Chain A
Amino acid sequence: MREHAFAYALLAPALLLFLAFTVFPIGFGFYISLHNWRLGPREFLGLGNYLRALTPGSEFWPSLGATLTYSLLAVPFQISIALTLAYLLFQKIRGKSLFRVVMFLPWVTSTVATAAVWARLYSPDIGLINSVLRGLELRPLRWLLEDKGVFTLIANGLGVTLPDWLRGPSLAMVAVVIYTTWVFVGYNMTLFLAGLGNIPGEMYEAAKIDGANGWQLFRHITWPLLSPTTFFVVLITVIGTLKAFNHIWVMTQGDNGTQTASILIYRQFYEFQRAGYASALAFLLSAVILLVTILQNRAAAERVNY
């Protein structure tokens, strides 16, 4: 009994901090979500805010769609490019330390600053990207100002009209994804490099003696033994993309098909001063992230080799 008391006493500071700064805010946030809350509770709505968000036609569904689109676009790009770069930089090449630093730099630079610079690059009139396109005698694009789907734009360029359901993500969304990839590839690459470093060299040597070629080495040694790292990188990237906010806000403020759930929550909270509704949206987004994470865990259980 005395031992238990001593253990609890030692745990108490951490528990108190956890209760004060994690559990209480979550609980209070949920309490707010049950009210019409404008600078304080005005009316108890029960699950009214949740029902409002989940009603067909509410702004939550398109924002969730934009969030999932962003995630589905960004994650494969980020992971595949990061893995490729990590694999290349893991080889014995000159100047690889410099490459690693260069690739990592976007991640350590202020997101707001880099997003603002990229927004300038994407400017339809004076942006560098369109200047290059003009130099190549290609049609300049509206980038962050374009809400038309990329497939629609491509089809229009070819003189074909696509049905609306085939429009694809907006060009603004694709532009944001390109920026996101630029920022996060270096970070993911570093994680992959750490994972590659943990694969025993003997396994490669043994495989080479057995006549394995480069692709076979990657397919049968690197890929399976890198799976715990891959799983971790995918997990944090998916969660990160589902709650992404800063750079999207700086680049588009949620316009042109980029109003993700986080942007919607922010706007409902700060622009509309609907703290209750915004809190309900935040809990719904958390539930979606939790669900996606559970599904990922289940899927990974059969595929990750520890």
Chain B
Amino acid sequence: MIRKLIPFVAAVAVLMAACAAPAAQAPAPTEAPAPTKAPAPTEAPAPTQAPAPTEAPAPTQAPAPTAEPSTGVDAITLSKDNPTEILFWHRYSGSAQQFVEQFVEKFNAENAFGIKVTVEKIDGSYADLYSKINAAIEGGTPPNIAQAYQNQASFYRLDGNVIDLAPFITSKKYGLTQAEIDDYFAFFLESDKNPQFPGEVLGWPTSRSAAVLYVNLDWLKELGAEAPPKTLAELEELACKASDPANERYGLAWQNDISNFAALVFANGGRVLSEDAKSYVFNSEAGVEALSLLKRLFENKCAVEIPSAERNGEQTRFAAQKVLFTMSSSTGLRFYADAVAKSDKPFRFTYVMFPQKDPAKPVVDIYGASWSVFKSTPEKELASWLFLKAFTEPDNIAGWANASSYMAVRKSAAPKAIEAVKADERFKDFPEAAEAYARLYDMVAYGAVEAPVAGYDPVRKLMSEVVTAVAIKGEGDVKEALDKAVAEANAVLKENAPSGY
């Protein structure tokens, strides 16, 4: 048998040797020639890089473009006579997908630069989109624009596959005025920055949500509570008071989405990643308290785990009044409203800021995929920026917030988005829920980002394993488990850090 295999192995080896040499000589996608190597506009010193971080915490405080003109970007010209075609990949569905497609159609017809956007919906999850983009990068055919979480954009940036948008933002000819920049929520613009790439803007915020606590108000009243919990201690007390495991009713539904755990760490005053992005710190005292709280909730049967295979399980159980609270994304509001409306016995509900250890110093986990621009030609990069800029015009962004249920990323668009939710028929019977959307914008001031660094996805898995083992199954010591996870997470962080960082 072995002898029979020798010719085959030899053939593979010969072929490998044959294909290995050219492959080794071939430039890697990241080393692709041309536009990227030319004195691209993105290489020009961006005004946002100049001031010390403390002086310019947000693009809103960046020096005026006149201080350091972005001549590189301004020198690029686009013409209707020579259309610039760009490709946009997203994974929106339903009304959000419809909105994007309609906007693209309008943009293609009306823009003055001859930009033609082709929009493609990628079926699957964000992870699938991420995998597809990575495969496209390897194949040398990435899209020009794609949805990307901050950590994913950082991964693309490691090999120079996404561009820094700062020079475009500050371009005199194509950028934003200071008033326009000020109109964006500063936290949203900040969240697309990664300390590992100082001053760079790796994505443009279009979609943001907050981790919030959904509350069954009628049930809460039955428990004698006047208002939703504001502190973690109140949350624990009410969750345990509501639980009745014999009848499969629990205080808190826990879906092991690690953003929920991150929200708990933030609520305890901690961070997931250190400020300088040099180490994970979710094993701090805040992390220990967060995990300990979860452990107690499960030990005392005050919380129930929603298995990952149970799609939208937390919504279903909330609507069936099997759980008093769920931790979930603010974007789920309309889905919750639909689920509750269809339930046998609809009830009043809302969402509130996640309870805090110290309500005087709240911290809210705010997340959402941005749109990143991939390296191509200066013209396509500029066309991509102009598309992003047009999409986030106040009127568009208000419509987008309504279509997608995300927060409006511009201050001037927020009132319209709030009005649209209040006018929405589905919230007719749930006025408290519609009010909650208005209060959501108050949370932006307390926003925090989990970890905008490459390699955060596997770290989330590590965190998830710790939560499952320690809190849900009650195995092992809280601090030891977190320390071990942080050690592994830091190895992943190091593996995915820019060289020299």
Contacts and interface: CB of A to CB of B under 8 A. Distances in A.
Interface of A: 19, 23-24, 26-28, 30-31, 38-41, 116, 119-120, 123-126, 144-145, 147, 250-253, 255, 267, 270-273, 294, 297-298
A24 B19 contact: yes
B417 to A, nearest CB: 34
B1 A297 contact: yes
B163 to A, nearest CB: 16
19 contacts: A23-B11, A24-B15, A24-B19, A27-B12, A27-B19, A38-B158, A39-B29, A39-B134, A40-B31, A41-B28, A123-B309, A125-B322, A126-B310, A145-B305, A145-B472, A267-B458, A271-B457, A272-B492, A273-B155
Interface string B1-39: 100000000011001100110011000111100000000
B3 to A, nearest CB: 12
A40 B11 contact: no
Contacts of B313: 123
Contacts of A145: 305, 307, 472
Contacts, number: 89
Given A39-B137, A267-B461, A273-B496, 17 more contacts: A24-B15, A24-B19, A27-B19, A39-B30, A39-B159, A40-B31, A119-B309, A119-B310, A123-B313, A125-B248, A125-B322, A145-B305, A145-B472, A147-B473, A253-B308, A273-B134, A273-B455
Interface centre among B24, B28, B307, B465 (most CB of A within 10 A): B307
B15 A27 contact: yes
B161 interface: yes
Contacts of A119: 307, 309-310
B30 A40 contact: yes
Contacts of B311: 116
Contacts of A125: 248, 304, 322
A194 B114 CA distance: 65
Given A28-B19, A38-B159, A144 B307 contact: yes
Contacts of A31: 16, 19-20, 23
A131 B275 CA distance: 48
A28 B317 CA distance: 49
Contact of B309 (A24, A26, A144): A144
A28 B23 contact: yes
B16 A27 contact: yes
B30 to A, nearest CB: 6
Interface centre among B15, B309, B472 (most CB of A within 10 A): B309
Contacts of B310: 119-120, 123, 126
Contacts of B158: 38
Contacts of B457: 271
Nearest to B465: A255
Contact of A116 (B159, B309, B458): B309
B468 interface: yes
B307 A124 contact: yes
A120 B309 contact: yes
A228 B282 CA distance: 58
A271 B461 contact: yes
Contacts of A27: 12, 15-16, 19-20
Nearest to B250: A125
A271 B465 CA distance: 15
Given A39-B137, A40-B30, A297-B1, A19 B15 contact: yes
Closest 5 CB pairs of A and B: A40-B28, A119-B309, A27-B16, A27-B15, A271-B458
A40 B29 contact: yes
Contact of A126 (B30, B161, B248): B248
Contacts of B455: 272-273
The SS class assigned to the B binding surface is helix
B93 interface: no
Interface string B350-388: 000000000000000000000000000000000000000
Contact of A40 (B15, B138, B248): B138
Contact of B127 (A30, A116, A270): A270
B141 interface: no
A272 B462 CA distance: 11
A162 to B, nearest CB: 16
A216 B15 CA distance: 54
A125 B131 CA distance: 33
A6 to B, nearest CB: 23
A297 B1 CA distance: 9
A23 B457 CA distance: 33
A26 B12 contact: yes
A116 B310 CA distance: 8
Given A255-B468, A294-B1, A41 B19 contact: no
B307 A123 contact: yes
Contact of B12 (A23, A144, A271): A23
A31 B17 CA distance: 9
Nearest to A268: B458
B244 to A, nearest CB: 13
Nearest to A36: B495
A145 to B, nearest CB: 6
A272 B12 contact: no
Contacts of B23: 28, 31, 41
Contacts of B134: 39, 273
A30 B309 contact: no
A28 B31 CA distance: 19
A297 B28 CA distance: 43
A251 B492 CA distance: 26
A27 B308 CA distance: 37
A267 B12 CA distance: 27
Contacts of B138: 39-40
B487 to A, nearest CB: 14
A266 B149 CA distance: 21
Contacts of A38: 158-159
Interface string B143-184: 000000000000100110100000000000000000000000
Nearest to A35: B24
A253 B28 CA distance: 32
Contacts of A252: 309
Nearest to B30: A40
A4 B468 CA distance: 65
Nearest to B5: A290
Contacts of A123: 307, 309-310, 313
B315 to A, nearest CB: 13
B202 to A, nearest CB: 16
A125 B248 CA distance: 7
Interface centre among A28, A40, A41, A255 (most CB of B within 10 A): A40
Contacts of B309: 116, 119-120, 123, 144, 250-252
A267 B462 CA distance: 12
A136 B459 CA distance: 42
A252 B458 CA distance: 16
Contacts of A272: 455, 458, 492
A297 B5 CA distance: 14
A124 B473 CA distance: 13
